[in-house]
Amino acid sequence: MKIGLTAEIFPPAWEGGRSYRIYETAKALASLGHEVHVYCHGFHGAPKAELMEGIHVHRVGLKVASIMSYFKRVVSTSLFLPFLSEERFDVLNANTLFPPLPTYLVSKIKQVPIVLTTDGLLYPRLKRLSLSERGWLMGELTIWLEGFISRMKYDAIIAVSNYVKQEMAGLGVPQEKIYVVYSGVNLRLYDSIEEPKKEDKSIVFVGNLLPHKGVKDLIFAFQNVKKEFPEVVLNIIGSGPMLNSLKVQASKLRLKGNVFFYGRVSEKEKIRLIKSSKCLVLPSVMESFGLVFLEAMACKKPVIAYDIPAARETILDGDNGFLVPQKDVSCLSDRMTEVLCNASKAEAMGRSGRRLVEREFTWQSTAEKTLAVYSKVLCS
């Protein structure tokens, strides 16, 4: 099968769980013998075209430095049009936010089935939570755009979780056209990273430093944990607009010697930091899926998260982690303390999470389920 994927971000550029999913899914599809082409923005230092792990990568768009550059992103994805039109694909698969527009046009001109892969309606969620991360006008524009793109007449929609499937159905998309395909973990890579000889008494957070990720709550909760374990460390992996304010918060709470900000790190360094920790904590109030939950489970670590719909799809409270009532900072600190106090329980949780990943969340499984969706639209 000849598959055309369109996306904004692709390695060596990374931007959260979406870019990992697109890359790993494309790689797994190629490993199964399919011809996979990816069209994306340009990136400084990366060639315009290359064969990357069996994937034909075409960086035909502009070099877009910021996701805030809407005009540049629209222009960049419009440049995909002539390159997509040159090829004859069996199926086209667009990833939100802007790539569906040119991809849809090409699919109609060339009469090729089109599939949308979506993380759901991110900005309506933020608006409901009063957590707009952009100005009013940009936020309202994004809300309209997400709805417009989601309602276009695709042959199928791949939702990254059941929660996202429900969002799409709420827009009027027929249920029979929506398929849930979960992300996975590259277990071979994770197992290749050596286990630390001795775990640190540390807690790790992985994610973009944005208001909805709950890092502010985490630091407040961690303050209470430190009172019981003075040597405990909180390692924060990720970057974003809240970095400076979070550093100030940690300083004011006299946590500078216990809270460390790593910024963006390599995949291998991220795995090392997770493996050296006692648990991963992500008190986010809004996720489409939460790939980092699976990454921690692959490292046999318990996961602590706020009780939100996406988290319930992978975290079984008390089995492979803990679900905490949203914004309950006291309960959050209690759960972290519980993990630090009870090593045998934490290890059992970690083993349970690992078994879940091995059973249900591999990229091979993601690729096979994606191919099943392609086959259905080709047969219809």
What pTM value is reported for the model? 0.95
Q: Are strands 55-58 and 49-52 parallel, antiparallel or unpaired?
A: antiparallel
pLDDT at 130 over 90: no
pLDDT at 141 over 80: yes
Q: What DSSP letter does each residue of 66-117 carry, written as one string?
A: -TT-HHHHHHHHHTHHHHHHHS--SEEEEESSSTHHHHHHHHHHHT--EEEE
CA distance 229 to 221: 13
Q: Where in the chain is the domain with CATH 3.40.50.2000?
A: 2-184+362-379, 187-360
CA distance 84 to 245: 43
Task: Identify the pLDDT of residue 13.
Answer: 86
CB 277 within 8 Å of CB 203: yes
CB 273 within 8 Å of CB 265: yes
65 — pLDDT class (breaks 50, 70, 90): confident
CA distance 73 to 98: 7
Task: Identify the pLDDT of residue 132.
Answer: 66
Task: Identify the pLDDT of residue 199.
Answer: 66
What's the mean per-residue pLDDT of the chain? Answer: 95
CB 131 within 8 Å of CB 285: yes
Pick the CATH number of 187-360 from 1.10.8.80, 3.40.50.720, 3.40.50.2000, 3.90.330.10: 3.40.50.2000
CA distance 232 to 228: 9
Q: Please write the tens of the pLDDT for every residue from 224-260.
A: 999 999 999 999 999 999 999 999 999 999 999 999 9
CA distance 252 to 223: 11
pLDDT at 223 over 80: yes
Classify 2-184+362-379 by CATH class. alpha beta
Give, in degrees to the nearest 5, the angle at Cα 161 between 291 and 121. 95
Task: Identify the pLDDT of residue 134.
Answer: 66
Q: What is the share, in percent, of the chain residues with pLDDT greater than 90?
A: 89
Q: Please write the tens of the pLDDT for every residue from 8-51.
A: 999 998 777 899 999 999 999 999 999 999 999 999 999 999 99
Half-sphere exposure of 320 (CA within 13 A, CB side): 21
Task: Identify the pLDDT of residue 126.
Answer: 87
CA distance 237 to 267: 11
CA distance 373 to 165: 14
Tokens 């004859």 -> residue = 88
Half-sphere exposure of 56 (CA within 13 A, CB side): 12
Q: Please write the tens of the pLDDT for every residue from 305-357.
A: 999 999 999 999 999 999 999 999 999 999 999 999 999 999 999 999 999 99
